[in-house]
Structure 1
């Protein structure tokens, strides 16, 4: 299934599933009421559906297959939220080594751009701090916790934060936890993934340059309202039998800026789940981002966004997450 959360005409979140090549949505609660005569609580939201487990998902699949006309709304007549907005928790991981290496290299080139001899200055630059990050990355999964209340969907604009002059997008793959787990082995971790989506981790690069030397991870470079864009849907795990063979493409105003593939994940979600769940409980609906795919942001090529740019992030099998960035 391709699960979505949308706002009805009263501005209330409703749980649904995309049908008819994503042109229409089956409202799950309305379908259940029509077919069974009952308002089934598991269909009140995508989060409650995920919390309901396999039985609830199977029941939802049966409703979608029948799709009573009274429960179908046209996609272009409603506003999509993120699949779960807000999620109970979210973490952004670093799973693509190429992105790290290219970002560090681009940042070093930027720092020496005004030197009399940039190439010579680049050769003399101390790279120990960057090397330590790569060493840590290859030793274990690394991640930070995001602001879950900054999550928005594909029909919302990203509001340019007032303190930034250098904005960037980041193309990420993301998974949703499907059931409560703790101390799970890697070999069993995929059983705890309910589905996948696309994540645009918007980043204020100038704020990031100022705060990262503090070595506590990103803060105001990532934490601002509308900074975490997710969608357009949650594709259930059965629809993506091999999540590690998906093409990923980033475009700005219709121009391709970069592409990569989930094959390049140094750490797969199973590795990340096994690592995070050590002595810590994960709950249904939590989100784990993959980190940026190599070539999946402007920083790697020293290109940045302008107000009113339209970002399109595509992941094979999921769709396109489209966002406009505006200044308020």
Structure 2
């Protein structure tokens, strides 16, 4: 299933994608069928319901009630979930080495991938309050000149756990979604020598984009191998495949959960796929640019960036 959170006539609804560009209002469909509709109050309540909630959703989607469907054109997409915690990794080697080449050309200093990057997933905790959804404008931060997209695959954690093994990691994944970690490169480059962060290179309102759908984990085998592509104003910038991750999501969950509880409803990004951002390609965003990030089986996450709003 592909699940989303949308605004329809001023109300946030949990929906499932069905045929003919229509969405199924899961709460309404459940109520019509005489089931517990509270399971579908939000993406978080569905996650918390576990397999019982997913089984009910699958049953409703398999025989969608026409009276509970909504045209996709009549909604605006919200982030499919507002994460209870947000972490972002850096696990695509091509992205890292491509960025190092750009930095070497700019500074004259050589950079090598550190051994620790191969030994364990590297990640940071980001701003979970700054997420927007598909179709919402990104507001250009007033302290930056160089803005960039980042094409990432993200997981939504479906089961709380601690000291998760790599092999058991798949049982803690609710689903997969698209993440655009919009970055202020000039701010990022200025602050990173301080050995903390990223800070204002990543932290600004509307700087994190998620969606449009969450593809439930049962739809793809793990480790995932999904094609990924980034386009700006209709021009292909780059992309790759999620199979190129140095550390898969099982390994990521095992590392992060070591002596630390991971909670259902957290979002964890893969980091940018190789050539999935402008920095690697000598490109940067301009005011009014439209960008589309597409991942196989999930959909297209499309937004615009604007100055002076």
Q: Which category of TM-score, normalised to the shorter sequence, fits these structures?
A: over 0.9
Partner of 1:46: 43
Distance 1:252 1:243 in 2: 28
The alignment covers a number of residue pairs equal to: 308
Partner of 1:14: 13
Q: CA deviation at 1:259?
A: 1.6
Distance 2:223 2:9 in 1: 35
Distance 1:56 1:299 in 2: 42
1:200 equivalent among 180, 186, 193: 180
Secondary structure of the corresponding residue to residue 222 of structure 1: coil
Distance 1:70 1:39 in 2: 18
Do structure 1's residue 77 and structure 2's residue 57 form an aligned pair? no
Distance 1:64 1:81 in 2: 21
Do structure 1's residue 24 and structure 2's residue 4 form an aligned pair? no
Distance 2:47 2:90 in 1: 25
Distance 1:52 1:162 in 2: 42
Contact kept in structure 2, 1:100 and 1:134, CA below 8 Å: no
Unaligned runs of 5+ in 2: none
Distance 2:201 2:207 in 1: 9
Unaligned runs of 5+ in 1: 112-121
Residue by residue, what CA displacement relative to the aligned partner does 1:147-178 show, whole Å, maximum 9, x if unpaired? 01111100211111111100000000011111
Partner of 2:106: 110
Partner of 1:273: 253
Q: CA deviation at 1:226?
A: 0.5
Q: CA deviation at 1:39?
A: 5.1
Which protein has the larger Cα radius of gyration, Structure 1 or Structure 2? 1
Partner of 1:115: none
Secondary structure of the corresponding residue to residue 162 of structure 1: coil
1:155 equivalent among 135, 145, 151: 135
Distance 2:287 2:204 in 1: 16
Distance 2:223 2:154 in 1: 10
Partner of 1:136: 116
Residue by residue, what CA displacement relative to the aligned partner does 1:200-255 show, whole Å, maximum 9, x if unpaired? 00000000011000111201010001011011100001112255321111110000
Distance 2:246 2:235 in 1: 28
Contact kept in structure 2, 1:91 and 1:145, CA below 8 Å: yes
Distance 1:210 1:139 in 2: 27
Using the size of structure 2 for normalisation, the TM-score is 0.97
Distance 2:37 2:259 in 1: 34
Contact kept in structure 2, 1:197 and 1:235, CA below 8 Å: yes
Using the size of structure 1 for normalisation, the TM-score is 0.91
Q: CA deviation at 1:27?
A: 0.6
The 4+ residue runs of structure 1 with deviation greater than 4 A are none
